Amino acid sequence: MTTLSFLRAWRAAFTARAAVVFGVLACALAWGAPLASDATAPVAARPNILFIITDDQGYGDMGAHGNPILKTPHLDRLHAQSRRFTDFHVSPTCAPTRSALLTGRHEFKNGVTHTILERERLVPTATTLAQVLQQAGYTTGIFGKWHLGDEPAYWPNRRGFDEMFIHGAGGIGQTYAGSCGDAPGNTYFNPAILHNGRFVRTQGYCTDVFFAQAQRWIESANNGTRPFYAHLALNAPHAPLQVRPQDEARYAGKVDAPTAKFFGMVANIDDNVGRLLARLDALGIQRRTLVIFMNDNGGTGGVKIHNVGMRGQKGTAWLGGTRACSFWRWPDVIAPGDCGALTAHVDFFPTLSELAGADLNATVRGQVEGRSLVPLLKNPAAAWPERTLFTHVGRWPKGTDPAEWKYKMCSVRTPRWHLVSPDGGREARWQLFDVQADPGEKVDCAASNAAHVNALTTQYDAWWASARPLMANEAAVGPKVNPFKEFYWKQFGGGPPQ
């Protein structure tokens, strides 16, 4: 290398490093937080980030939200220590929510209109949150559920994650025609997991396995040189209800047998949350780690016990299908308490990008439809202009025209109004609810509020017109063999039945 080329390379490296440093300083000044506190527990300007998301746990499936039977002491403590967004909404099913969280835009515009049939694949042109955080100097890891494409080109290690420890499909052991499928023979016990491109045969219950691997990675990543982003995405308590016997026993006889299994799976999650939070304390990084907890869609196995008075559940466009937990804990920086602003999964990407001091280019800024929650994390009463959110369950049959399902189980939401078409098609069958006065959505007031129905319909039609050209996977053809299975057989031998 010539002296000139060396100086040019050094200058480029210095400039990149300076950009990160100035981002840290800007973040610290904006929050008014010190770059360092006392020597025993420093407060970082840019936090480590631990994101935990559960699969099919409902808003009402925890003690802090009033469940009369289920006990979740560790989640309750996290709730008490966090800024809680009480009107936070996700998609009615899992892959769509995950795509919106990781891109900041509605799932349909990511090509994700289903959870299977190649329509769960996140379009390669999307920039993910993990890529943005990598570029901002973070080390990134994912543990558990990915569900945005099982073919190697779609794996998370191609989408910004340094560490990858995942199962296939939407759940351990699931298999569908085409690309969406897990390793052969997998169950929730001792599952084969894809770890950085090779399968490992784990020992133990899946939730315990994912938490343990995430903890090991956090311990190795906690070296003081780069902040970390740990994406801990559980497949529990999603069906099938495979549960440790000792966890099921906690609720046996208190509820019916399936609910006892479901509650046992949630109780196991709660235990693991408690252990991981205690480990952050033991490592001395709790005050410089932002912990975020969410569930991915409306409730399932627990809604008959407690649904917080909401109508609907997973797979519906009612509030019970989309309202989710959203807890944000950053000790000494974010004050605990409720925030009732209308917020959503698309806000996750811009919020973490801002906290990380990331510099988004014009293309990425154009991708993001959500808003940064930073003003509300600072002050829950901060100005938050009225907004409109759109929900559609999708999941129309493969090979059909999406226009036939335009108004099937969809909704339009503003802070006051919720316009829902549960059973339309090419034509809407709107019902309107004043959710401020009627949060249980019991009284349809569409007939007496035609002006609101018309105005919200106009917004919905414009949104659908913008989303329809971006539904890139509608005609996708999957492989003849699930890629996870094919990859597993190449590593361990075997193959499909002849």
CATH of the domain at 316: 3.40.720.10
374 and 399 belong to one structural domain: no
- Quick one: average pLDDT of 103-131? 98
* CA 72 – CA 62 distance, rounded (Å): 6
Does any domain span residue 30? no
Pairing of strands 139-145, 163-167: parallel
440 and 324 belong to one structural domain: no
309 and 451 belong to one structural domain: no
Give the list of residues 6+ apart from residue 414 with CB closer than 8 angstroms, or none.
342, 386, 387, 388, 389, 456
Local confidence band at 225 (pLDDT 50, 70, 90 cut-offs): confident
Does any domain span residue 15? no
124 and 182 belong to one structural domain: yes
Question: So what's the pLDDT on residue 34?
Answer: 32
318 and 433 belong to one structural domain: no
* CA 58 – CA 302 distance, rounded (Å): 7
373 and 418 belong to one structural domain: no
pLDDT per residue as tens digits for the range 429-470: 999 999 999 999 999 999 999 999 999 999 999 999 999 999
Local confidence band at 36 (pLDDT 50, 70, 90 cut-offs): very low
Q: What are phi and psi of 76, to 5 degrees?
A: -65, -40
Task: For the chain, give the mean pLDDT.
Answer: 92
345 and 452 belong to one structural domain: no
Question: So what's the pLDDT on residue 107?
Answer: 98
- Six-digit token string for 183: 């390793």
Total number of domains in the chain:
2
In terms of Cβ atoms closer than 10 Å to its own Cβ (0-12, 13-18, 19+), residue 12 is exposed
Does any domain span residue 477? no
pLDDT per residue as tens digits for the range 145-173: 999 999 999 999 999 999 999 999 999 99
pLDDT per residue as tens digits for the range 406-416: 999 999 999 99
Residue 442 parent element (H or E): none
In terms of Cβ atoms closer than 10 Å to its own Cβ (0-12, 13-18, 19+), residue 158 is middle
Question: So what's the pLDDT on residue 22?
Answer: 42
pLDDT per residue as tens digits for the range 238-257: 999 999 999 999 999 999 99
- CA nearest to 313, candidates 68, 57, 72, 54: 57
164 and 300 belong to one structural domain: yes
Question: So what's the pLDDT on residue 10?
Answer: 36
Q: Kindly provide the residue ranges of all beta strands, DSSP E only, lying in 275-394, ordered along the sequence.
A: 289-295, 323-324, 326-329, 337-344, 389-392
430 and 286 belong to one structural domain: no
Lowest mean pLDDT among 114-128, 136-150, 484-498: 484-498
411 and 268 belong to one structural domain: no
Rounded to a whole number, what is the largest CA-CA distance in the chain?
Answer: 78
329 and 441 belong to one structural domain: no
Question: So what's the pLDDT on residue 498?
Answer: 61
Q: Does residue 117 register a pLDDT over 90?
A: yes
Q: Which residue has the tokens 């379009």?
A: 123
pLDDT per residue as tens digits for the range 264-319: 999 999 999 999 999 999 999 999 999 999 999 999 999 999 999 999 999 999 99
CATH of the domain at 443: 3.30.1120.10
Query: Which residues span the domain enclosing 124?
Result: 48-378
Question: So what's the pLDDT on residue 45?
Answer: 81
398 and 275 belong to one structural domain: no
- Six-digit token string for 288: 């410089």
Name the packing angle between helices 257-283 and 206-221 (round to 10°). 10
Question: So what's the pLDDT on residue 31?
Answer: 54
Does any domain span residue 22? no
Does any domain span residue 113? yes
Whether this model's pTM surpasses 0.85: yes
Q: Does residue 12 register a pLDDT over 70?
A: no
DSSP state at residue 450: H
DSSP state at residue 125: T
Question: So what's the pLDDT on residue 26?
Answer: 45
Q: Does residue 332 register a pLDDT over 70?
A: yes
Does any domain span residue 181? yes
